Amino acid sequence: MHLYGSWILDCCLLQIKDRHSRSSFIDSSRANETEKVIDVQNERLMDEAFAKSFATVCTIFGNAQCDEFIYPEYLSRFYYVIQQGLRFYHGDEQRSQAIIESILLNSGDLFRINLRGVNILIPLFLDAIEYYLHIDLQSYINYNLGIVKGPLNTSNSTIRDRFIRIRSKSIHILMSIISLPFHYQHLEQHLFEDYLEKSHDVQTATVKTFLEYRLRIFPLLFSALQTEIDITNAQLLFGTIRLACSLAAHLDREQEQHEDSAKKDPTAGYVSHAVNLICEKGTNDSQLFLAALDTLISIVTDPICQIPIDTWKNVLKRLCTFVDTQLHRSPKDHTREMHSTCVATYNTLITLIIERPVLLDDYENLYKLCEIIELGISGEKAQSADGLVSKKDKEFHPASQRVAEAAEYLMFILFEHKAALHLKDDICRNWLDESTFTNTTFKYFAINGNTLFAMSELPITDNHGMQAIVLLYRGLFGKNVWTSKFRHNPLSNPLLQPNKSIERIEHENGKNSSPPTPNMNSDYKDRSLPLHGTKTERAKSEFSIPTLNSIIKRDEDKLNSFRALKAKQISIEEQAIERAYLSNETPQPGCRPPECQKHFESIRLFLSHYGFCSLDAMHHLMNGKQWNDSKLFGRLQPRIQLLNSETDIFMEDIRKLDHISPTLHCTGQVYYLKKHQATLLESSSNLNTPDELNPAFLTMFSQFGSVVEVKRHCGWTGNAATSWKTIASAQSETNATSKVLAEIDGEDSILYWLDLTSEMAFFLPHHFSVDQQSSEMRILIVWLEEFRDELDSILPVQESSTKARDICIIGIHPLKTRLFRILLNSSAQRMQSACASIPLLDGMVIPLHLLSFYLRQAVYNLSRRKRLEDSQSSQTTYLLRKTRISKIIEKYQHQINHLDEFFQNIFFLSTNKYEHLTESLTDRNSVLVAQS
């Protein structure tokens, strides 16, 4: 600027004088038409020269370093030049448009490089941006053809490419300034023209607040999305709209807390509109559709963005319709890319019903989910235009194995998800195994060739006198642990009244056993078993089944008539019994209730109640033949096999199966680079002096999750070798202690976050290395005190190899406005589309209160995209677990020659083995029910 600054700025301002002189020349030439000579070619070259001068000055200031000092004189002249350049002169449209477009194409970074006073240009840029984001491509081409003088040297494709680049830069500018209205809120700002008034005593100066700009930005974003034709620009708009939704929802919550209902934010209703627009726009392209799904997941998991449930019902129906349409396309249209979109849609539906379980209360939603589950697993619907197809007659022809897995996982979540979500308890169940239950012997069964049951009967003394079994379920989608208890009384009516008829007979014959003791009722109450938990847990899908009471109410009149008839019949039968008793003088023996069994063989009862030990199933087990009635009916019958668990390596194979986690596990490695630190190798020493770190960094890092010790942690730790320990081994470690920042290094402690479908670990490593053996993608979150244009340069030189291409870097640079600029390296932007890291985008400026949540979402979406990408060429965890289970069954199946041998192996209890156990409860009611 010292060398060429004044010259370049003067060149830009020269266009004002040139416009005035040219307009005067045109006016004078109109008086003498015969002397009118206009050189169109020279005029066009002049317009291009002025546009180039504005592009040069914008490039110079746009490439300034964030902490670089720029003289106020240069800044003031630059702002004045931009103000003049962004003005549209009627009558000189060609030059005005060329200059405005040149400014927009070279000003993408102006609002995110700490230029002092740059916010004064916001209304001027908004005026220019509105035109290019409102207009569609065809109108823009027609307008350019109309204003260009002389022969046109550019083609429509060139105009189209320029139009797309202008819109891209305009979206980037919006991405930079969208946080400012919510950050500064009621801070007053004078318009640029007020500073150019000659008299400073003017009392009519226009004063606006930053918060008012949001009323222009929100409609502008929605209009831009509706007219956008470029895939990359549409994804940028998805991310920008996502940020706008969070900012508006946060402001709405603040106003509710301050009870400022009179000043309700008018942008609060835009969030629902944004979700609908994203759904409509996202179905045009596969990459755009994946970006739309990422945006929807980010919104639905955001606790701040509360949207009416009707909006999410509409989203669910749209997604189900999309899957239905795609899977019904002709076979030649089926591609791996199309199947990837279907798999991603199933995963989005899983997140949707987990975050909004109220959706499952609607019968239509549940019906649509069941339809696409059936379509994904079997390849066709039971109810179609061709008629009804019975399950026993249906052939299984899924679109692909990946689609069938995703549909089956949705079904698993649908029937597993409870109405009341106890996240910690549900997750901790997966960390239990055989070592948790000491002094307990398990029997292992294989069900249907894809599920393993480990079952053990609990002694009565260990379970308050109740018969119970422990069931460890290992399936294709993980592991669960249940305790099934057998009761003498049903849960619905635990205190049944004694049988009146037996009491009356015993009293009248006078030969009953010893009379009941006075404290029998109190003893009975003491022996009654408490319920397991305060309320029986039910899955949301169960609520779609009508209850017995609701059915009874429909036929209440008939039931009342039946009750009246029953009462009369009871009276008649009692009178008949009394007459027969009086007429018969032969003494009758006393009627005593049968004694309750002490041992029920609980495993046998469980297997029998659930149909695993039926006679038909045993017949199938013995001869291995298909059913006689139908060839396909055998698939509906449970198939059971006994496994031999006596070998030494059996439990080792079980542990290998448990280490194949079905959930998505993500890792974020966090680094802090101070000024003048070139690579990540120099960042390890920064953790020893946390007082010298930016306080915002400490706030951001602390919000990633909860601090857990690696040796005491049972979930994902960021390292497969130390992850997924059992609770027994984790509890055997020493007691937890408070941690300092340097100890959260991935080896001692981590920050842990989880939900039902994913686990995340964040830590601050002391060293950096690339694992050449692992195929997992690494995600680095780097805090940059000094801005860097090329993030890949912070990687060590020796690691700049092919393996380094799988490293995604998310850079965070704090601005002087206390906002934070996001930077992404090339790997993070290469994942199937330019915006795989939604909700974070390269160049986005966000506030601190959204930073941690957005980073966590970006890590999740990048990992999910990587898994989706790898599933096209490698085995999924579903297939890995299925293969491991099949090998276990084939290796350890117990050959059964006689049914007696099978039942003898599943009988645990014997009178000799459990003679030391206390007597089981005696009660007149021997009703047995199972509680899970």
Q: Tens of pLDDT along 558-582?
A: 888 999 999 999 999 988 888 877 7
C-alpha span between 665 and 722 (Å, rounded)? 13
Rg from Cα positions in the chain: 37
Structure token digits, residue 253: 């919550």
Residue 445's identity, in one-letter code, is: F
C-alpha span between 144 and 588 (Å, rounded)? 112
Give the pLDDT of residue 246.
Answer: 93
Give the pLDDT of residue 437.
Answer: 79
Strands 467-475 and 845-846 come out as unpaired
Structure token digits, residue 57: 């000055």
Give the pLDDT of residue 530.
Answer: 38
C-alpha span between 304 and 758 (Å, rounded)? 20
Domain locations in the chain as residue ranges: 441-508+597-644+898-932, 656-870
C-alpha span between 873 and 866 (Å, rounded)? 11
E strands, 94-219, are 188-190, 207-209
- Which residue ranges in the chain fall short of pLDDT 50? 23-38, 198-203, 494-535, 624-633, 832, 908-932
Give the pLDDT of residue 343.
Answer: 93
C-alpha span between 716 and 305 (Å, rounded)? 28
Strands 443-447 and 188-190 come out as unpaired
User: If we measure between CA atoms, which residue out of 896, 889, 902 comes closest to residue 604?
Assistant: 902
Give the pLDDT of residue 919.
Answer: 38
Strands 758-763 and 749-754 come out as antiparallel
- 656-870: CATH homologous superfamily? Rap/Ran-GAP (3.40.50.11210)
Give long-range contacts, CB 8 A cutoff, 24+ apart: 826-829: 826/792, 827/792, 828/779, 828/862
Work out the burial of residue 813: count CB atoms within 10 Å of its CB; fewer than 13 is exposed, 13-18 middle, 19 or more buried: buried
Q: Mind spelling out the 3-state secondary structure of 862-876?
A: HHHHHHHHHCCCCCC
User: If we measure between CA atoms, which residue out of 730, 716, 703 comes closest to residue 760?
Assistant: 716
Rounded to the nearest 10°, the torsion over CA 111, 112, 114, 115 is -30
C-alpha span between 232 and 836 (Å, rounded)? 11
Give the pLDDT of residue 152.
Answer: 55
DSSP 263: G
Global confidence as pTM = 0.82
CA distances from 743 to 117, 619, 750, 764 (A): 42, 60, 8, 8
Strands 758-763 and 845-846 come out as unpaired
